[in-house]
Protein backbone atom coordinates (compact mmCIF):
# COMPACT_ATOMS: atom_id res chain seq x y z
CA UNK A 1 0.00 0.00 0.00
CA UNK A 2 1.27 3.44 -0.88
CA UNK A 3 0.94 6.31 1.55
CA UNK A 4 -0.50 9.48 0.03
CA UNK A 5 0.12 12.93 1.44
CA UNK A 6 -3.30 14.56 1.30
CA UNK A 7 -2.17 18.01 2.47
CA UNK A 8 -3.15 20.68 -0.01
CA UNK A 9 -0.30 22.99 -0.92
CA UNK A 10 -1.78 26.11 -2.46
CA UNK A 11 1.29 28.34 -2.55
CA UNK A 12 3.03 27.70 -5.87
CA UNK A 13 6.02 29.72 -4.66
CA UNK A 14 6.51 27.25 -1.80
CA UNK A 15 6.24 24.32 -4.21
CA UNK A 16 8.72 25.96 -6.60
CA UNK A 17 11.25 26.76 -3.89
CA UNK A 18 11.18 23.13 -2.68
CA UNK A 19 11.27 21.61 -6.16
CA UNK A 20 14.10 19.17 -6.85
CA UNK A 21 15.21 19.87 -10.42
CA UNK A 22 16.99 17.01 -12.21
CA UNK A 23 20.62 17.61 -13.13
CA UNK A 24 20.97 19.24 -16.54
CA UNK A 25 17.64 21.08 -16.26
CA UNK A 26 16.61 24.45 -14.93
CA UNK A 27 13.25 25.59 -13.58
CA UNK A 28 11.61 28.99 -13.51
CA UNK A 29 8.42 30.30 -11.94
CA UNK A 30 6.62 32.44 -14.54
CA UNK A 31 3.31 33.99 -13.50
CA UNK A 32 2.46 31.08 -11.23
CA UNK A 33 3.52 28.40 -13.71
CA UNK A 34 6.56 26.21 -13.09
CA UNK A 35 8.51 25.80 -16.33
CA UNK A 36 11.36 23.30 -16.69
CA UNK A 37 13.76 23.23 -19.61
CA UNK A 38 16.88 21.35 -20.65
CA UNK A 39 20.26 23.00 -20.34
CA UNK A 40 21.52 25.25 -23.14
CA UNK A 41 23.62 24.24 -26.14
CA UNK A 42 27.07 25.55 -27.09
CA UNK A 43 25.81 28.32 -29.40
CA UNK A 44 23.79 29.69 -26.48
CA UNK A 45 26.71 29.49 -24.05
CA UNK A 46 29.14 31.08 -26.53
CA UNK A 47 26.78 34.04 -27.01
CA UNK A 48 26.39 34.57 -23.26
CA UNK A 49 30.17 34.34 -22.82
CA UNK A 50 30.70 36.94 -25.58
CA UNK A 51 28.23 39.35 -23.95
CA UNK A 52 29.85 38.91 -20.52
CA UNK A 53 33.31 39.55 -22.02
CA UNK A 54 32.11 42.89 -23.43
CA UNK A 55 30.62 44.27 -20.20
CA UNK A 56 33.34 45.79 -17.98
CA UNK A 57 33.67 43.82 -14.73
CA UNK A 58 35.03 46.82 -12.81
CA UNK A 59 31.74 48.65 -13.26
CA UNK A 60 29.14 45.86 -13.62
CA UNK A 61 28.24 42.59 -11.89
CA UNK A 62 27.56 40.02 -14.65
CA UNK A 63 25.67 37.13 -13.11
CA UNK A 64 24.77 34.00 -15.04
CA UNK A 65 21.52 32.19 -14.29
CA UNK A 66 20.65 34.28 -11.23
CA UNK A 67 17.05 33.98 -10.01
CA UNK A 68 15.18 37.29 -10.04
CA UNK A 69 12.47 38.37 -7.58
CA UNK A 70 9.75 40.32 -9.38
CA UNK A 71 7.49 42.19 -6.94
CA UNK A 72 3.76 42.09 -7.68
CA UNK A 73 4.32 38.94 -9.78
CA UNK A 74 4.28 35.25 -8.93
CA UNK A 75 7.49 34.99 -10.91
CA UNK A 76 11.07 33.98 -10.23
CA UNK A 77 12.64 33.88 -13.70
CA UNK A 78 16.24 32.81 -14.24
CA UNK A 79 17.61 34.91 -17.12
CA UNK A 80 20.70 33.86 -19.00
CA UNK A 81 22.51 36.98 -17.78
CA UNK A 82 21.79 39.57 -15.09
CA UNK A 83 23.68 42.88 -15.12
CA UNK A 84 23.69 45.35 -12.23
CA UNK A 85 26.09 47.97 -10.87
CA UNK A 86 29.18 46.45 -9.23
CA UNK A 87 28.41 47.98 -5.82
CA UNK A 88 24.69 47.11 -5.63
CA UNK A 89 22.44 44.19 -4.87
CA UNK A 90 22.72 41.52 -2.20
CA UNK A 91 25.91 39.50 -2.03
CA UNK A 92 24.24 36.32 -0.81
CA UNK A 93 20.94 34.54 -1.30
CA UNK A 94 19.05 32.97 -4.17
CA UNK A 95 16.93 35.93 -5.32
CA UNK A 96 18.04 39.24 -6.83
CA UNK A 97 15.40 41.98 -6.48
CA UNK A 98 14.41 43.23 -9.95
CA UNK A 99 14.71 46.86 -8.83
CA UNK A 100 18.48 46.33 -8.42
CA UNK A 101 18.92 45.05 -12.01
CA UNK A 102 20.05 47.27 -14.89
CA UNK A 103 19.73 44.77 -17.75
CA UNK A 104 18.56 41.20 -18.32
CA UNK A 105 19.62 39.02 -21.26
CA UNK A 106 17.82 35.99 -22.68
CA UNK A 107 19.22 33.88 -25.53
CA UNK A 108 16.34 32.29 -27.44
CA UNK A 109 16.19 28.53 -27.98
CA UNK A 110 13.78 26.51 -30.10
CA UNK A 111 11.61 25.87 -27.03
CA UNK A 112 11.77 29.34 -25.45
CA UNK A 113 10.64 31.65 -28.29
CA UNK A 114 7.24 32.59 -26.83
CA UNK A 115 8.55 32.79 -23.25
CA UNK A 116 11.45 35.08 -24.20
CA UNK A 117 9.58 37.38 -26.60
CA UNK A 118 6.20 37.58 -24.84
CA UNK A 119 5.97 36.21 -21.30
CA UNK A 120 9.32 37.38 -19.96
CA UNK A 121 9.06 40.70 -21.83
CA UNK A 122 5.94 41.50 -19.83
CA UNK A 123 7.33 40.10 -16.56
CA UNK A 124 10.58 42.08 -16.83
CA UNK A 125 8.71 45.27 -17.75
CA UNK A 126 6.41 44.75 -14.73
CA UNK A 127 9.55 44.37 -12.62
CA UNK A 128 10.80 47.74 -13.96
CA UNK A 129 14.01 46.28 -15.37
CA UNK A 130 15.41 49.21 -17.42
CA UNK A 131 16.73 47.11 -20.33
CA UNK A 132 15.88 43.64 -21.64
CA UNK A 133 18.04 42.20 -24.43
CA UNK A 134 16.68 39.24 -26.39
CA UNK A 135 19.37 37.53 -28.47
CA UNK A 136 17.89 35.21 -31.06
CA UNK A 137 20.29 32.76 -32.77
CA UNK A 138 17.34 31.18 -34.62
CA UNK A 139 16.89 34.28 -36.80
CA UNK A 140 20.22 36.06 -36.21
CA UNK A 141 18.98 39.20 -34.45
CA UNK A 142 19.01 41.09 -31.18
CA UNK A 143 16.01 42.93 -29.76
CA UNK A 144 16.75 45.58 -27.15
CA UNK A 145 13.74 46.69 -25.11
CA UNK A 146 13.90 49.77 -22.87
CA UNK A 147 11.60 52.14 -20.95
CA UNK A 148 9.35 49.73 -19.03
CA UNK A 149 5.75 50.79 -18.41
CA UNK A 150 2.51 49.29 -17.09
CA UNK A 151 1.69 46.56 -14.61
CA UNK A 152 1.00 42.84 -14.64
CA UNK A 153 0.39 41.13 -17.97
CA UNK A 154 -0.20 44.55 -19.58
CA UNK A 155 3.36 45.72 -18.75
CA UNK A 156 5.63 46.29 -21.73
CA UNK A 157 8.57 48.31 -22.97
CA UNK A 158 8.03 51.58 -24.86
CA UNK A 159 11.20 51.38 -26.94
CA UNK A 160 12.31 48.50 -29.17
CA UNK A 161 15.48 48.36 -31.25
CA UNK A 162 16.12 45.36 -33.54
CA UNK A 163 19.63 44.69 -34.85
CA UNK A 164 20.92 41.89 -37.09
CA UNK A 165 23.86 39.76 -35.97
CA UNK A 166 27.02 41.43 -37.25
CA UNK A 167 25.77 44.95 -36.50
CA UNK A 168 26.68 46.74 -33.24
CA UNK A 169 24.06 47.01 -30.49
CA UNK A 170 24.34 50.21 -28.43
CA UNK A 171 23.62 49.37 -24.79
CA UNK A 172 23.33 52.95 -23.56
CA UNK A 173 22.14 51.85 -20.12
CA UNK A 174 25.58 50.19 -19.65
CA UNK A 175 27.68 52.64 -21.68
CA UNK A 176 28.71 49.76 -23.96
CA UNK A 177 28.32 48.93 -27.64
CA UNK A 178 27.88 45.20 -28.09
CA UNK A 179 29.80 43.54 -30.94
CA UNK A 180 27.57 40.77 -32.33
CA UNK A 181 29.81 39.72 -35.21
CA UNK A 182 30.83 36.45 -33.54
CA UNK A 183 27.34 35.39 -32.43
CA UNK A 184 26.53 31.95 -33.78
CA UNK A 185 23.19 30.87 -35.20
CA UNK A 186 21.05 27.77 -34.88
CA UNK A 187 19.20 26.02 -37.70
CA UNK A 188 15.49 26.86 -37.66
CA UNK A 189 13.20 23.93 -36.96
The stretch 25-33 carries a mean pLDDT of 69
The stretch 132-146 carries a mean pLDDT of 97
Look at residue 9 and tell me whether its pLDDT is greater than 70.
no
Q: Looking at the domain that runs over 41-178, which CATH code has it been given?
A: 3.90.1570.10
**Band of pLDDT at residue 72, cut at 50, 70 and 90:** confident
Rg (CA), the chain: 17
**Highest-scoring range by mean pLDDT, 4-13, 16-25, 56-65:** 56-65
**Res 133: pLDDT:** 98
**Res 171: pLDDT:** 98
In angstroms, what CA-CA distances link 151 with 121, 154, 156? 12, 6, 8
Amino acid sequence: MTAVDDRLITDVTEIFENLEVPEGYKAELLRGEIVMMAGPDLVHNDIVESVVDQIPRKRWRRLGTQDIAILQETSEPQPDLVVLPRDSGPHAGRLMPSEMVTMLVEVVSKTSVHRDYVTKRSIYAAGRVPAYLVIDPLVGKCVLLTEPTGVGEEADYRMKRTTKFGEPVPLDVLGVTLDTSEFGTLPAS
